[in-house]
Structure 1
Amino acid sequence: MIIESLLDTDLYKFTMMQCVLHQFPGASVEYRFRCRNEGIDLRPYMDEIKAEVDHLCTLRFKDEELEYLRSLRFIKDDFVEFLSLFQLKRKYIDISEKEGQLAITIKGPWLHTILFEIPVLAIVNETYFRHVAPNIDKTEGRRRLDAKIQMIENEPDRELISISDFGTRRRFSREWQKEVLETLKARLPHEFAGTSNVLYAKELDLIPMGTMAHEYLQACQALGPRLRDSQTYAFEMWAKEYRGDLGIALTDVYGIEPFLKDFDMYFCKLFDGVRQDSGDPESWGERMIEHYKANRCDPRTKTFIFSDSLTFDRLIRLFRRFKGRVKLGFGVGTNLTNDLGPEPLNIVIKMVRANGQPVAKISDTPGKSLCDDPSYLAYLKQVFGMTDKK
């Protein structure tokens, strides 16, 4: 089967899940699947996907996996005890056909549904590529990976580069992701910082990477006291849970303008840095540097994580522009774990409701915005002063 461990997911699922356990234990949510590729029909693989998800819902955390989680400085004992009892429940996920497309809906308590997203996306990906590229020769993938590594090896000041794997959800296969990580660890022992995949961090003695995702800030639209304050509320609740640890803030749930208004001197000083996941990364970086300066923070003490559809060409360009001006991290996903020749799938599972209310991600890239309620989206843009944003 494709997923054989509940650790085979991204770290930020556990960090958010712990926050949910302690701060929002009664919250309910709904997620929807979306394939952004034109002309891709995933319905022929529905039965296989269902069988894989059935298996996923039989898995439990093993004792050694729980002890590994317990060893992470920011994971608390009561959360590990909760996970020792945890099992994904099949009743919370529906896989069917709707309007001529594969439809996946996840609906239930946030605490009991948050771990579905990453393994389900990995299942859809690997099932698809088993059919469209069943006997692929990985020689081309290895050649491309070698070329990327050589780009890093040939770069002046390469010791300032920090690359992390963010590619679990869209990987070609579980085995290929592991090979990529083993190769990066051997070839780039200083520049390769770690992986978001907790299972491979454990197995390969890598650093697990991650803090928060869009869904956390989206949910706070429904869980906070006032919509306009939902972003600051999310950051405050994160600080309440982690007391300064895991301090990388995501900037694009509402777009950069509302973020800069909310991310005041207190948050500038409290958080270690910021993550860019949509929009133009170079203009974003320049604006964040000026914002830190305006709030009496030395940008050189802050970490900027770039994670939006990174290729190694783009990574090198950003590195050359910002090195020495900030601390840099690069989270590379599909371009690492699914670059063997066939066109990768661009699939997502995003939260669309929390506590029965619509939630939205506006983003700095219009194509990455997501909301299934146009009236709510218009209201959200008005509240955040974004009426002209499409």
Structure 2
Amino acid sequence: MTPAVPVVRSLLETDLYKFTMWQALLHMHPNATGEYEFKCRNTPAYPLAELKEEVERELDHLCTLMFGADEIDYLRSLRFIKSDFADFLTLFRFQRKFIQVDTDGPHLRIRAAGPIVHVMGFEIFVLYIVNELYFRRFDRAAALQEARKRLAQKVDEFRAFEQEPKRQNPFEFFDFGVRRRFSGEWQEEVVATLARELPQFFKGTSNVYLAKKFNLVPIGTMAHEYMQAFQSFDVRLRDFQKKALEDWVQEYRGDLGTALTDVVGMDAFLRDFDLYFAKLFDGLRHDSGDPVEWGEKALAHYVKLRIDARTKRLVFSDALTVPKALSLYRHFADRVMTGFGIGTKLTNDTQFDPINIVMKLVRCNGQPVAKLSDSPGKGFSTDETFIAYLRQVFDQRI
């Protein structure tokens, strides 16, 4: 029997924000250690524990890969990637000793632990490895037939939307679907189709490999793990968001200016996002909670600070569909620039239910870290005592 083609094609095939966070932490906190844990938030069609041996083989393969010379050259071409970080990546290889796979009854357990600059990159690869292995057991031909039908419907939705009256700011959306995609080949087909059929709306992808291949803009700045890590650094817990934002400003000096707001909730974020940061960052990214309420809070905050919101951007990325993105655009587009990162509903929209899997930072420097989401069920921690303390410090009652 012919062995299956490995899931991971290139170390470049990950979200851009992995590289941007990686560089910042390498420069500012190179000695930090981290622990990441995998979790499935819904009930899969069959036990993920059955994938253990296949996942092990895929991780073995991942740990043989290195960046190619052309890939390093591409990263160097991005103005915010610094020369020493590119040199580091030239030598980088994932270490198998830093990641373990186990089972607990029907559940798959994956844990990566070690120096944070050596383990943080595992997350996206683990997620799309598990996803692709999971969906290989389904009827691939039937799934792709349905996926192509739904993709064509999305293209038609955008073309119908194009007939609407023009608003103050254009509609722009991006592919954020690496981690929960049906397969690498299908994501590539989706991105190629959108770039060909909807160039007026489709403005980039978080998948750096596909951005390079199709000459698209790679999209991304920071994720929760970056902010969470600062809960363990040498700063008062109450000040961790301000320290994380300040280090980002110092690292990127005006580039990559979209701040993530929901590590301890939008209200707590805005208390720290003062005039200094509001002027330095180009905008904010929504990833939990009611998006309209979130956006109105953001706009009110800019008004309070006497900043013209029309010069800022709100990026929405939480469980978006095309209708939801268009609805949010209609609500906000005359008052602020917008952007929409659509993930699962672009790259895994078939008749088969996707699995809701994550791999989150749970400890840093030997201390618990946590996310207090604005959406119940999206928070993540393994230490309830720390969660309670974090809620108390930031007056977060969810």
Same-fold status (TM-score > 0.5): yes
1:128-182 CA deviation, whole Å, 9 max, x = no partner? 0001334435222111111112211111238811110000000000000000000
My pick for the range that moved more, 217-226 or 275-284, is: 217-226
* Aligned with residue 74 of structure 1, among 60, 64, 80: 80
Distance 2:56 2:356 in 1: 20
Q: In the alignment, is residue 28 of structure 1 matched against residue 28 of structure 2?
A: no
Q: Which residue number corresponds to residue 354 of structure 2?
A: 344
1:295-318 CA deviation, whole Å, 9 max, x = no partner? 111111101000000011111110
Distance 2:54 2:142 in 1: 20
* Aligned with residue 112 of structure 2, among 93, 106, 117: 106
1:70-95 CA deviation, whole Å, 9 max, x = no partner? 00010001100000000000111110
Tell me, yes or no, if the aligned pair for 2:49 and 2:105 is still in contact at 8 Å: no
Q: In the alignment, is residue 118 of structure 1 matched against residue 124 of structure 2?
A: yes
Query: Any idea what SS the aligned residue of 1:96 has?
Result: strand
Rate the CA distance shift 1:17–1:52 in 2: closer, same or farther, 3 A.
Answer: same
1:100 is displaced (CA, Å) by 3.9
Distance 1:137 1:367 in 2: 29
Write the mapping of 1:1-390 to structure 2, written as runs, cut at 5 A.
1-38=6-43, 40=45, 41-155=47-161, 156=164, 157=166, 160-386=170-396, 389-390=397-398
TM-score normalised over the length of structure 2:
0.96
1:99 is displaced (CA, Å) by 4.9
Distance 1:52 1:330 in 2: 32
Where in structure 1 are there 5+ consecutive unaligned residues?
none
Distance 2:323 2:143 in 1: 25
TM-score normalised over the length of structure 1:
0.98
Q: Which amino acid aligns with 1:192?
A: F
Tell me, yes or no, if the aligned pair for 2:15 and 2:208 is still in contact at 8 Å: yes
Query: Any idea what SS the aligned residue of 2:137 has?
Result: helix
> Kindly, what percent of the aligned residue pairs are identical?
53
Q: Which amino acid aligns with 1:138?
A: L
Tell me, yes or no, if the aligned pair for 1:69 and 1:80 is still in contact at 8 Å: yes
Q: Which residue number corresponds to residue 3 of structure 2?
A: none
Tell me, yes or no, if the aligned pair for 1:9 and 1:118 is still in contact at 8 Å: yes
1:244 is displaced (CA, Å) by 1.4
Q: Which amino acid aligns with 1:317?
A: S
Tell me, yes or no, if the aligned pair for 1:138 and 1:340 is still in contact at 8 Å: yes
1:39 is displaced (CA, Å) by 5.0
The alignment covers a number of residue pairs equal to 388
Distance 1:192 1:165 in 2: 8
Distance 1:89 1:137 in 2: 35
Q: Which amino acid aligns with 1:240?
A: Q
Distance 1:174 1:257 in 2: 37
Distance 2:386 2:144 in 1: 46
Tell me, yes or no, if the aligned pair for 2:98 and 2:112 is still in contact at 8 Å: yes
Tell me, yes or no, if the aligned pair for 2:44 and 2:355 is still in contact at 8 Å: no
1:101 is displaced (CA, Å) by 1.1
Distance 2:33 2:142 in 1: 41
1:345 is displaced (CA, Å) by 0.9
Rate the CA distance shift 1:44–1:135 in 2: closer, same or farther, 3 A.
Answer: farther
Distance 1:9 1:377 in 2: 30
Query: Any idea what SS the aligned residue of 2:35 has?
Result: strand
Where in structure 2 are there 5+ consecutive unaligned residues?
1-5
Q: Which amino acid aligns with 2:37?
A: R
Q: Which amino acid aligns with 2:70?
A: E
Query: Any idea what SS the aligned residue of 1:138 has?
Result: helix
